[in-house]
């Protein structure tokens, strides 16, 4: 499933393609949304934003297309009326004279009015968006200390969109590696120094991933690894999806386990207590 950085990058691409333009054709795959097609074809796309793992396309006159990629959804930006070769099912198409924004395979698509954002069953329960300019490490630190979250194991807490919106499995693994923490620990068991480091890395690694299109490894190390001929999949992360390979920090073993029903990758030496 795409995480916050990937959805924000997708929002940026859609905005560049169709932002400020009135589409000449909007097409939904779902019958209950088809009556919106002629309405939206008379509106201009004013904004495209991400909220955690959700994507919002704003039109003038208060209409918004809400979508969530879930596991299989994928956006494509193509030249107008050009479609990718794929076995996926087209769910939403927004065509302008020059570009087409196409959403495949996603089933969670709605048309909302602006006031409905506050009561939407998914959006209303989201924590602060990690990529929002107003989400500071101090805000994340405050939430780590909140009684609603301080007694939760980190391995499950960092996947909970109610805590903060936008983190997913690869970011969970990378944040816990960089802070040297194991997923069984709870915020209330951490020192003030550990809590501050965790809050800062949640912000830092998410923003780095957004700015670098998914790289969470140390950027200086990435340069050196590229020079040695490493592929993107080899240099992208510290530990995620690198099981049985040497840790870049200590040369110890990167191990794969399961935590909160999701694959979890860690270094046995750098993160004591994970086993």
Domain boundary among 66, 90, 125: 125
Which CATH number fits the domain that encloses residue 17?
Answer: 3.20.190.10
Write down the pTM of the prediction. 0.93
Count of positions (residues) in the chain: 275
The answer to whether position 130 is within a domain reads: no
Verify that 61 and 142 share a domain, yes or no: no
Q: Please, which residues bridge with residue 43 across strands?
A: none
User: How many other C-beta atoms are found inside a 10 Å radius of the C-beta of residue 252?
Assistant: 13
The answer to whether position 164 is within a domain reads: yes
Verify that 12 and 39 share a domain, yes or no: yes
Calculate mean pLDDT across residues 88-109: 96
Verify that 160 and 119 share a domain, yes or no: no
**pLDDT band at residue 72, thresholds of 50, 70 and 90?**
confident
Verify that 98 and 170 share a domain, yes or no: no
Calculate mean pLDDT across residues 122-149: 96
The answer to whether position 274 is within a domain reads: no
Looking at residue 57, its pLDDT comes to 98
Question: How does the average pLDDT of the chain come out, rounded?
Answer: 96
Q: Does residue 256 surpass a pLDDT of 90?
A: yes
Looking at residue 274, its pLDDT comes to 78
Verify that 111 and 229 share a domain, yes or no: no
Verify that 218 and 108 share a domain, yes or no: no
**Cα separation, 173 vs 170, whole angstroms:** 5
**pLDDT band at residue 32, thresholds of 50, 70 and 90?**
very high
Q: What is the pLDDT of residues 82-95, one digit of tens each?
A: 999 999 999 999 99
The answer to whether position 225 is within a domain reads: yes
The answer to whether position 219 is within a domain reads: yes
Domain boundary among 100, 125, 150: 125
Domain boundary among 77, 95, 125: 125
Verify that 147 and 118 share a domain, yes or no: no
Q: What is the pLDDT of residues 112-122, one digit of tens each?
A: 999 999 999 99
Calculate mean pLDDT across residues 55-77: 93
The answer to whether position 273 is within a domain reads: no
Verify that 54 and 98 share a domain, yes or no: yes
**Cα separation, 32 vs 240, whole angstroms:** 40
Query: Which of the residues are catalytic?
Result: 2-3, 53, 262
**pLDDT band at residue 223, thresholds of 50, 70 and 90?**
very high
Verify that 112 and 22 share a domain, yes or no: yes
**pLDDT band at residue 70, thresholds of 50, 70 and 90?**
confident
Which CATH number fits the domain that encloses residue 178?
Answer: 1.10.8.50
- Quote the percentage of the chain above a pLDDT of 90: 95
The answer to whether position 272 is within a domain reads: no
The answer to whether position 230 is within a domain reads: yes
Q: Does residue 2 surpass a pLDDT of 90?
A: no
Total domains in the fold of the chain: 2
Domain residue limits at 199: 137-267
Comparing CA positions, the residue from 204, 156, 155, 152 lying closest to residue 178 is 204
């Amino acid at each position: 499933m795409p995480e916050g950085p990937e959805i924000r990058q997708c929002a940026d691409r859609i905005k560049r393609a169709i932002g400020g333009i009135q589409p000449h054709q909007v097409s939904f795959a779902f019958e209950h949304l088809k009556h919106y097609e002629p309405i939206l074809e008379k509106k201009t796309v004013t904004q495209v934003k991400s909220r955690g793992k959700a994507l919002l396309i704003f039109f003038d006159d208060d209409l918004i297309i809400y979508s969530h990629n879930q596991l299989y959804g994928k956006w494509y930006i193509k030249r107008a009326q050009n479609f990718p070769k794929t076995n996926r099912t087209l769910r939403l198409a927004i065509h302008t004279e020059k570009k087409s924004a196409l959403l495949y395979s996603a089933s969670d698509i709605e048309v909302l009015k602006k006031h409905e954002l506050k009561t939407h069953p998914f959006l209303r329960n989201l924590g602060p968006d990690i990529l929002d300019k107003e989400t500071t490490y101090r805000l994340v630190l405050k939430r780590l200390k909140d009684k609603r979250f301080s007694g939760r194991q980190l391995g499950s807490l960092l996947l909970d969109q109610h805590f903060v919106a936008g983190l997913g499995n690869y970011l969970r693994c990378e944040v816990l590696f960089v802070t040297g923490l194991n997923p069984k620990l709870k915020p209330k068991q951490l020192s003030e120094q550990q809590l501050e480091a965790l809050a800062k890395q949640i912000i830092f690694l998410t923003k780095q991933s957004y700015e670098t299109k998914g790289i969470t490894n140390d950027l200086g190390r990435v340069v050196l690894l590229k020079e040695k001929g490493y592929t993107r999949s080899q240099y992208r992360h510290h530990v995620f999806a690198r099981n049985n390979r040497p840790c870049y920090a200590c040369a110890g073993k990167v191990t794969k386990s399961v935590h909160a029903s999701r694959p979890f990758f860690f270094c046995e030496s750098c993160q004591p207590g994970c086993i």
